[in-house]
Amino acid sequence: MESWPSFDPSTSELPTLTTADHPLEVLIAEEPVRLHWNIEGFATGWQSQIARDIKIETSPFVAEKIDLNCVAIKIPTPRISTLSFDFPESPQWQNFLQADKGPSATKQASETSANNAAPSPPSSLTRIRPPKDLVKLEDRLYYVLQPPLETLVSNARIDFAFQPFPYQFEGIAFLFSRETAILADEMGLGKTMQAITTVRMLLLANQLRSVLLVCPKPLVSNWVREFRLWAPEIPLAVIEGDQSKRQWMWSQPGLPVRIANYELLMRDRDLLESNLHFDLVILDEAQRIKNRNSTTSEIARGISRSRSWALTGTPIENTPEDLVSIFEFLTPGYLRDGMSLKQMGQATRDHILRRTKDKVLTEMPPKLFRDAELDLTPEQLATYKAAEDEGVIQLSDMGQELTIQHVFELVLRLKQICNFDPITGASCKLERLEADLEEVAASGQKAIVFSQWVQTLDRISESLKRFNPLQYHGRIPSEKRDGVLKLFKEDPKRHVLLMSYGAGSVGLNLQFCRYVFLFDRWWNPAVEDQAINRAHRLGAAGSVTVTRMLVAQTIEERIHRVLDEKRSLFNELFAEAGTPPSLGLNQADIFGLFNLKIPRSNKPKAA
Amino acid sequence: MSTSKGTDHFSFGFLTVRLHSDLGYLGGYLLVNSLARPLEFHCTLPVKPTRAQNILYGPTLVDFLCGEQIARTLVSKAKLQPVIVWTDSPAVLALRNVTEIPVCQVRQSRQNSEASKDLVIPSTQHEGVRGGELSGMDIYVSSQHQEDWESVAKRWRELTKPIDLLEPFTRIVDALQEAHPSSKAA
């Protein structure tokens, strides 16, 4: 023990033991250590004990060797389960790609490669989204995994006559993935182009082989023109001619697109209901089937098809039931009469795409409305007063036999007097129109004049000979109509086109016109809007001025007031519910024009 | 092999592995043609590393799981062999250790506004080596296979039209969310 150092707390150094001097067991084992505590002070009594060495007793401890046991833990490789989906490429796409290698494409490609340039990213990318009612994952992924439309178009070098607007790409993406859809864009936003381009892309993707497009007869040539413009490589067949020719055209295999008119559907009903099947049926101006009891609607619903699209700027012309009727074509039973606007709006949200010009075309030239409030000429006024007084008395005397037709006849009579005095031919509207047209012609511009009567258009034409007017209405044979429009567009001496609402309100592109005159007013603002939008549409050369002729203190003013109120209501509700309420005059409105009560025997009915 | 008929018959692979805070790792692999149209899509069910794997692999876990396990499985499922596998996940570069196909990480410099907040790119300590720039984006290759950059750049020059190297990942993430609806925040 003498070899062990003593520990003195007053020193700073602790004794150090190393294994060089001592075995490990000895180092761990404790040995007694003598401690010296030097305490200075006067020790008295028991304090003297402090001066004594502290004796620490220790006992030796020998650590035993530990036997280490190794336990092997197997780390399993993560088990990875996968889902796999194949999307066989349509050969059409590859053919299209290989065929379209003109000099311009090659030049662009070589320049791009040389510069190793980035693809110029479009300002926005439009993705195709699956519709909500598509359930199968593989089908949903097919759409989710498609490249943005802009990329697809750019990579496949699909040419467009004009660069589509972003909202038009959205419309194409909407239609592309839907089996049932209503494209309800406001007139002039390019529903035709969107439908044609989608058909073109679906044909390329091999998703379609046979398409039937049904439109009003006057629009057939317009559709043919638009197809040639937007999809020139797609062969078209217009169903026309005698029965044997039509039969041959219906049954001809390998025709990707057939165009037929509504009137023709009735004649070829038996053929349509035989063994014909279409991958897609498009109804243009689908409000034509708003009456679901009509033969046209029945035939349209009976066509065998896989996909159904409806194009209309006015999915609801009069009542929400119009929309129910269109859905009877798309998805029978999906909507029902009596659903609230809110319910209908929710149910149809994923099926309808509607955009308005003010939302998507912020840079479109403005549409300027000018209400020309006129006073009847003395001759007109005399005739008008006599007719109204006499008419109202007659209606009042009819009692329970009074029907809406009787009231309607009086309205029509009074409206015609507002146009022209039947006795003298005097017309406050014509005077104003002539004055305005002088200015239009002098500035080298062109104008469209709308009336609901062909007879009125004839009379106007007589008085406007110096402006070389052209006419476009139901009495002009359909084969001559394209010629009329061409002449109007190309001949600088032709300043005026006289159109009826019925013939000229839909589908025509007259965006080179800067002036529209509504010589008389239609019953429904939606139809008026369609007429105005012949000129105010994409590609409009500038602002479009719309002059609405209105004779003060007459039936016209009263109708105008009622329609204005309805339009306000429409705007309010459409924003909330997504579907518009009644826009036209209903039975109560018409009776109300003369403060007449509806006889009990008459049920409410839309005009 | 899809390279025999010229550049228009190339197929490209786009592979991403994303991490969801609850579900774990999700892998998606999209094969597209030169029109960027989809040819094949493969995705994994969610993969969650065990506690033991977390401890024992430590910082190498992400590379192991994303690159050598998930990515390898996805590539092995495909019928087509692409000329390049593009990825936006650095951990997927480890795939190159187990495949002969060049693997490139596209590092996006611009902010992707459509990037999913629910499915994030897992971070890793191992980064690749910058090969160069394509389409304005930095391209990284595996540090053990730096020669990949040369072959990738050569392929790129052969393309008649450059491709968007980022956009397909948006599609894959959307597809993952379609396949695993619970990965999408309500």
Of A80, A85, A116, the CB nearest to B40: A85
pLDDT of amino acid A341: 78
- Take residue A8 and report the two structure tokens written for it: 């003195």
Amino acid at B135: S
Of B29 and B4, the one with more pLDDT: B29
DSSP type of residue A365: P
**B12-20/A34-35 β-pairing:** unpaired
To test the contact with chain B by mutation, choose from A85, A106, A137, A146 the residue with the greatest count of B C-beta atoms within 10 A, namely A85
Decide if A87 and B33 are in contact by the 8 Å CB cutoff.
no
Our CA dihedral for A3, A6, A12, A13, rounded to 10 degrees, sits at: 10
Per-residue pLDDT of A418-430, as tens digits, reads: 999 998 999 999 9
Decide if A151 and B167 are in contact by the 8 Å CB cutoff.
yes
Say how far apart CA A191 and CA A176 lie, in whole Å.
14
Amino acid at B100: E
Of B47, B162, B171, the CB nearest to A78: B47
Low-confidence ranges of chain A (pLDDT < 70): 1-52, 90-123, 188, 363, 504-507, 537-541, 566-584, 598-607
Say how far apart CA A453 and CA A456 lie, in whole Å.
5
Decide if A89 and B70 are in contact by the 8 Å CB cutoff.
no
Residue with the two structure tokens 């009727």: A325
Q: Name the 3-class secondary structure at B27.
A: strand
Residues of chain B positioned with their CB less than 8 A from the CB of A112? 160-162
Decide if A112 and B161 are in contact by the 8 Å CB cutoff.
yes
Of B33, B45, B178, the CB nearest to A89: B33
Of B38, B53, B135, the CB nearest to A75: B53
- Take residue A35 and report the two structure tokens written for it: 């401690």
Task: Report pTM.
Answer: 0.67
Cβ neighbours of residue A204 closer than 8 Å, sequence gap 6 or more = A90, A92, A93, A96, A156
Per-residue pLDDT of A319-360, as tens digits, reads: 788 889 999 999 999 998 888 878 888 899 899 998 887 777
Contact (CB, 8 A) for A155 and B34: yes
pLDDT of amino acid A4: 54
pLDDT of amino acid B4: 39
- Take residue A286 and report the two structure tokens written for it: 């689908």
pLDDT at B111 over 80: no
Our CA dihedral for A307, A313, A318, A324, rounded to 10 degrees, sits at: 20
State how far Cα B114 lies from the chain centre. Answer: 17
Among residues A548, A573, B97, A565, the alpha carbon closest in space to that of A586 is found at: A565
Among residues A596, A160, A565, A199, the alpha carbon closest in space to that of A411 is found at: A596
Residues of chain B positioned with their CB less than 8 A from the CB of A150? none
Say how far apart CA A531 and CA A585 lie, in whole Å.
18
Say how far apart CA A7 and CA A11 lie, in whole Å.
8
Crossing angle of the two packed helices A191-204 and A91-99, in degrees rounded to 10: 100
Say how far apart CA A395 and CA A399 lie, in whole Å.
8
- H helices of A420-477, in order, are 428-442, 454-463
Q: How far is A81 from chain B (nearest CA, A)?
A: 6
List Cα–Cα distances, B163 to A99, A529, B5, in angstroms: 20, 44, 18
- H helices of chain B, in order, are 51-57, 61-62, 72-77, 148-158, 167-179
Cβ neighbours of residue A433 closer than 8 Å, sequence gap 6 or more = A449, A460, A464, A517, A519, A549
Residue with the two structure tokens 């926005």: A124
Crossing angle of the two packed helices B167-179 and A137-144, in degrees rounded to 10: 160
pLDDT of amino acid B17: 96
pLDDT of amino acid A495: 92
pLDDT of amino acid A579: 44
Decide if A80 and B73 are in contact by the 8 Å CB cutoff.
yes
pLDDT of amino acid A72: 79
Contact (CB, 8 A) for A169 and A150: yes
Residue with the two structure tokens 């864009």: A185
Cβ neighbours of residue A317 closer than 8 Å, sequence gap 6 or more = A287, A290, A524, A526, A527, A583, A584
In the sheet that A305-311 helps form, which strands lie side by side, from edge to edge? Answer: A236-238, A257-261, A211-215, A278-284, A305-311, A180-183, A352-353
Say how far apart CA B157 and CA B166 lie, in whole Å.
18
Q: What angle do CA A38, A41, A47 make, to 5 degrees?
A: 85
Of B4 and A356, the one with more pLDDT: A356
Decide if B159 and A113 are in contact by the 8 Å CB cutoff.
yes
Residues of chain A positioned with their CB less than 8 A from the CB of B33? 89
Residues of chain B positioned with their CB less than 8 A from the CB of A121? 164
In the sheet that B103-107 helps form, which strands lie side by side, from edge to edge? Answer: A82-86, B38-44, B24-32, B12-20, B85-87, B103-107, B137-141, B129-134
Crossing angle of the two packed helices A454-463 and A428-442, in degrees rounded to 10: 60
Q: How far is B59 from chain A (nearest CA, A)?
A: 16
Q: How far is B38 from chain A (nearest CA, A)?
A: 6
Which helix (H) or strand (E) covers residue A382, if one does? helix A378-397
Among residues A312, A273, A268, A282, the alpha carbon closest in space to that of A527 is found at: A312
Decide if B53 and A98 are in contact by the 8 Å CB cutoff.
no
SS (H, E, C) A243-266: HHHHHHHHHCCCCCEEEEEHHHHH
pLDDT of amino acid A152: 84
Question: How many beta-carbon pairs under 8 angstroms link A with B?
Answer: 129
Q: Name the 3-class secondary structure at A40.
A: coil
Contact (CB, 8 A) for A509 and A222: yes
Contact (CB, 8 A) for A197 and A172: yes
Q: Name the 3-class secondary structure at A461.
A: helix
Beta bridge partners of residue A85, listed in sequence order: B41
Say how far apart CA A471 and CA A499 lie, in whole Å.
6
Of B38, B77, B158, the CB nearest to A145: B38
